[in-house]
Amino acid sequence: MKTLVCFGDSITQGSIGDAYVRHIAEQMPHINVINAGVDGDTTYNLFQRLDAAVLSHNPAVVLVMVGLNDFGTAYGELLSRVYYRRIKKVPIAIDIPAFETLYEGIIHRLQRAGILTVLCTPTTLGEIPDTAGQFILDGYVRVVKQLADRHGLTLIDVRERFVKAMRADPRFGPEYHLWMVAYDAWRVRRGTSYEQISALRGFNLLVDGVHLNVNGASLVAQTVLPTLLQLLPKES
């Protein structure tokens, strides 16, 4: 059985809200699907744990989706920037040039290992398309596209699908704050589901302005599955 590693941050891990990796695994039972997402990870963190999280599994394909936390190290609120520096041990603010350098380092190591690498653009910050934050995030998105082109890698434009969905149905949910993660986890322990939290906030794709609800996770899975099934088809 071939192995697919999904490599990324909390959007991939899916412990907050829903996991798109779960949907992929359900649709690809012929593949060993490994969820290598870690909450709060940036390109710096992914580079640090690349050997253990990806290379040790000798995957046929690695799907990489990262960028939202890189944005947060440079442009997030003070609490977020302290979190990345103190808790995640990220030594620098990963602005767009630093993001490109770190991401390219990940790509070089994967290519040297001979692993087929698929890059995904990051999802969204909130569900309103034309905000200052979305404009900055698009700078990170452009880097992912440029890296895919430069290195001849398969690109899946998840961001494009999210922007299309947001333009069709914009939602004015609350702005994301890091403290919401702990607050929502407390509510879940007391019996409120992430789907209920999402609905109460008026979101369509997200739980808290960043993490995915079932609709958002399903949208990611629907976007990446056609490519993954081409690369890792069922054996007849």
Give kind and range of the element (H or E) at residue 5: strand 3-8
The verdict on residue 189 lying in a domain is no
Query: Is the pLDDT score of 164 beyond 60?
Result: yes
Please report which confidence band the pLDDT of residue 235 belongs to, taking 50, 70 and 90 as the band edges. confident
Query: How many beta carbons lie within 10 A of that of residue 190, not counting itself?
Result: 7
The verdict on residue 92 lying in a domain is yes
Query: 75 lies in which domain range?
Result: 3-169+211-231
Distance CA 100, CA 213 (A): 29
Query: How many beta carbons lie within 10 A of that of residue 38, not counting itself?
Result: 19
Residue 35, class by beta-carbon neighbours within 10 Å (0-12 exposed, 13-18 middle, 19+ buried)?
buried
Could you give the number of structural domains in the chain? Answer: 1
What is the pTM assigned to this prediction? 0.96
What CATH number is associated with residue 49? 3.40.50.1110
Query: Is the pLDDT score of 236 beyond 80?
Result: no
